[in-house]
Amino acid sequence: MLTSLAQRLDASAADSNRPIANAYNQAGDKYLCYADGDPGQLFAFNGRYAYGDRQIWKLLDEKLRALFVSGTQTVRILDLGCGPGTWLRRVVTRARELGFRHIFARGIDIAEDQVRRAEELSASLSRCHGVELQFEVADICKRLPEADASIDLCLCLYGVLNHLPANDLPPVLSEIRRVTRGDFIATVRAVGSTPTVYVGAVEDASTFHQDNKNDRFEVEFQDGRRVCVCSHLFGAAELRARVLPHLAIKDLFGLDLFHGRFAEDPRWNPHSDQPCQQFDTALDRLEAYYCRNPGFIDHATHLLLVGTPHMKVAALRPRIALAPQAAHG
């Protein structure tokens, strides 16, 4: 009886997640360029969310360096909702450069086409000595095969947690706590963010609507595709409240309050060859000043959370200093 009930629950979860998998499958290879920029330039950070990407990478690079300096020769990374595998390729590539002798990395996603693309792009990296890199079609709402306290870096970036029904969050966060011994790094869409249609550029949509009360997002694209998926936008206070029962929060701040809003659009703004470093530096200072401000944080494009299963560090809450000039990949 219990087995039968579990099977029905699994089937129900699979059915509820199918629209999300279908949406990202239909997005195809275009999603990679939209989300991460040129796949041939892994550290160019020239995608739609370039500023946020650079800050996430700065954090991940610091975490990898700290692990290596601590004397460990082995690093284990888990990427939940890996998409086309860009972030896992970045982390594994950097871990090799630092000199880790053994690198175990696994990425999972419910979209089969995204996992296929991740495998294709990672083929040569997977064959490198000391690297065990895997991508699998799997649901993060199910129990993870990783052993207790085995993961040094657990990632869940961009819209993954936004797509989970509220009732699925506690068991997912509990499972993340179980397998993680280092840090859990997640980003989510903020409730006051600029619009997104998740699987492509906003300009590709003819109509869209986010219903945050019912956690429902609908979009009709100009090519006739229609997508309806679970979508919940988070405020910083809500995200903190949901995570704290499971993980200590080392940091929580907004990503991209200003850069995205001041970004030029080649379809509208005239092209300029004049360098704008001074303007970008001013925006960086604004980002650093306001990214944790309660009056501003919920208007960021994304919220970045750093959690840990080790509750003893909860009171420390170290902060990541954003550079006064643009970060480099």
Q: Using CA atoms, how far apart are residues 268 and 264, in angstroms rounded to an integer?
A: 8
pLDDT at 9: 34
Cβ–Cβ contacts within 10 Å for residue 119, how many? 17
As a whole-number percent, the residues of the chain with pLDDT over 70 amount to: 88
For residue 323, name the pLDDT band (cuts at 50, 70, 90): very low
Average pLDDT of 25-53? 86
Kind and range of the H or E run holding 252: strand 248-255
Question: Which tokens belong to 171?
Answer: 């068991």
- 166 assigned to some structural domain: yes
Domain presence at residue 7: no
Residue 231 has pLDDT above 90, yes or no: yes
pLDDT for residue 46:
83
In a domain, 9, yes or no: no
Tell me which residue of 219, 221, 224 sits closest to 208, measured CA to CA. Answer: 219
Count the neighbouring beta carbons within 10 Å of the beta carbon of residue 294.
Answer: 8
| pTM score of the predicted model | 0.89
Rounded distance, CA 102 to CA 210, Å?
43
Q: What pLDDT is recorded for position 276?
A: 81
Q: Is the pLDDT of residue 21 over 70?
A: yes
Assess whether pLDDT exceeds 60 at residue 37: yes
Q: How far is the C-alpha of 80 from the C-alpha of 106, rounded, in Å? A: 9
List the CATH number of the domain containing 48.
Answer: 3.40.50.150
What is the model's pLDDT at position 311? 60
**What pLDDT sits at residue 12?**
39
pLDDT exceeds 70 at position 72: yes
CB 317 within 8 A of CB 280: no
> Is residue 262 one of the residues assigned to a domain?
yes
Give 28's pLDDT tier (boundaries 50, 70, 90): confident
Average pLDDT of the chain?
Answer: 88
Q: Which of 47-56, 149-158, 229-238 is predicted with the least confidence, judged by mean pLDDT?
A: 47-56
Residue 274 forms part of a structural domain: yes
Share of the chain above pLDDT 90, in %: 74
Res. 85: pLDDT tops 90? yes
Report if residue 204 sits inside a domain: yes
Q: Note the helical H segments in the chain.
A: 2-27, 30-36, 50-69, 86-98, 112-121, 123-126, 169-179, 236-243, 259-262, 277-290
Q: Identify the pLDDT of residue 48.
A: 80
What does the pLDDT average to over 114-141? 97
Number of structural domains found in the chain: 1
Task: Provide the pLDDT confidence category of residue 300 given band limits of 50, 70 and 90.
Answer: very high
* pLDDT number for residue 272: 64
Residue 308 in tokens: 């840990």
**Over 60: is that where the pLDDT of 319 sits?**
no
- Per-residue model confidence (pLDDT) at position 16: 62
Residue 8 lies in a domain: no
More confident residue, 317 or 273: 273
DSSP label at residue 322: P
Domain that residue 60 falls in = 16-313
**What's the CA dihedral at 161, 166, 167, 169 to 10 degrees?**
30
| Confidence at residue 320, expressed as pLDDT on a 0 to 100 scale | 41
Residue 322: predicted pLDDT: 42
Tell me the pLDDT tens digit for each residue of 252-290: 999 999 999 988 877 788 776 665 889 989 999 999 999
46 or 88: which carries more pLDDT confidence? 88
pLDDT surpassing 70 at residue 329: no
| Model confidence at 197: pLDDT above 50 | yes
What would the pLDDT profile of 2-20 be if each residue is shown by its tens digit?
233 233 334 434 456 789 9
Residue with tokens 């643009």: 326
